[in-house]
């Protein structure tokens, strides 16, 4: 059975393993010390909310949510920046459990929307996001400009 909880610094060792897998998945391998410092800083500075999924006692996936704001609504927004499930645990409902936990936590916190993006070719992720009620296109168009 998959359970999801908010990660704390004490979860860092198992979270770090998943984060390194996430970086490898995106062909952005990082040094262990650098990756740990990055995740630790997000947690200690309260710059993100990280949800960690377990299958029994084993950490199998995570999602990281960053705060932003809607000026029009004058309310907080979350950006779902990272979602990763260990390859051995995919297609077992872990990603869906993480998405649903993020939505429930957002609702409880008064967040007005969760935004995310994914690669145009990542059809499996797109299917999950759409099944969970995420929409693309209307009423807004998102633009990205990469800076170095």
Sorted by where each begins, the domain ranges of the chain are 2-7+48-131
Architecture of domain 2-7+48-131: 3-Layer(aba) Sandwich (3.40)
Q: How confident is the model at residue 6 (pLDDT cuts 50, 70, 90)?
A: very high
pLDDT band at 14 (very low <50, low <70, confident <90, very high): very high
What does the alpha-carbon distance between residue 145 and residue 124 come to, in Å, rounded to a whole number? 25
- Between CA 72 and CA 53 the distance in angstroms is 33
Q: What is the pLDDT of residues 73-108, one digit of tens each?
A: 999 999 999 999 999 999 999 999 999 999 999 999
Closest CA to 135 of 105, 113, 109, 119: 113
Res 119: pLDDT: 86
| pLDDT score of 46 more than 90 | yes
Q: How high does pLDDT run on average in the chain?
A: 94
């Amino acid at each position: 059975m998959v359970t999801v909880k908010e990660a704390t610094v004490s979860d860092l060792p198992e979270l770090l393993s998943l984060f390194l897998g996430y970086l490898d998945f995106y062909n952005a391998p990082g040094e262990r010390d650098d990756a740990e410092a990055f995740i630790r800083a997000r947690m200690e500075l309260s710059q993100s909310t990280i949800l960690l999924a377990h299958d029994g006692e084993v950490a199998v996936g995570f999602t990281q949510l960053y705060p932003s704001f809607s000026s029009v609504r004058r309310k907080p927004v979350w950006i779902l920046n990272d979602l990763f499930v260990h390859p051995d645990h995919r297609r077992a409902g872990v990603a869906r459990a993480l998405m649903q936990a993020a939505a429930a936590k957002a609702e409880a916190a008064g967040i007005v929307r969760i935004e995310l993006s994914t690669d145009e070719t990542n059809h499996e992720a797109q299917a999950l996001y759409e099944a969970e009620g995420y929409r693309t296109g209307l009423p807004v168009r998102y633009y990205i400009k990469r800076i170095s």
